[in-house]
Amino acid sequence: MEIKNITVFCGARTGNDPIYIKSAYELGAHLAKSGIGVVYGGGAVGLMGAVADGALDNGGQVTGVIPRFLVNREMAHQKVQHMEIVQTMHKRKELMEELGDAVISLPGGAGTLEEFFEVFTWGQIGLHEKPIGLLNAGGFYDELLRLFGKLIDEGFLHEKYMDQLFTGQSGSELLRKFKGFTPVEVRTYDDIKRR
């Protein structure tokens, strides 16, 4: 599959471990050097700002998608080449997913997790056929990966849907893994109906 743009979900804070902001900047820089555009939440602060700065400092193309109320709070990055201003958080997520050929989630808070889980779910039900990556800087997502194991063990998640999800310590590792991606089979409810 050809990847021209990657949607990046991440926090508007930097977190406590310096590895988070370092990995965000490095991801933006690596995507720029690879000729891949960044689609992100449009902010100038936290890991969002670091991803954008990493790409911009290395000649990359960056598209921000930000709701108007955050622009009004002066949160928008002033240097990105394209800034899409939307009315709601829902529209932001929808457009971000639409503009990217793949998705990478960096460390972040509840908003980042919500974005990740919605896109993960959309993949299960066939609303997109894109690889999803967790950039597991400093082991940030280790507990989430263990939770996925429990969801599978307890019968709430079919293991095949993990085939849309890749983990790595860097953007270059995730891009290598994305090359082998095959879209997962769309979820049906036949098994549920039989029970």
User: How many alpha carbons fall within 13 Å on the CB side of residue 21?
Assistant: 13
| pLDDT of the residue at 62 | 98
- The pLDDT tens digits for 128-178 are 999 999 999 999 999 999 999 999 999 999 999 999 999 999 999 999 999
- Residue segments in the chain with a per-residue pLDDT below the cut of 70: 74, 187, 189-195
User: How many other CB atoms are found less than 10 A from the CB of residue 65?
Assistant: 23
Mutual orientation of helices 18-33 and 171-178 as an angle, nearest 10°?
50
Residues near 97 by Cβ (< 8 Å), separated by ≥ 6?
7, 103, 119, 122, 128, 130
pTM of the model: 0.93
Beta strands in the chain (DSSP E): 5-9, 37-40, 62-67, 82-86, 102-105, 132-135, 165-168
| pLDDT of the residue at 195 | 47
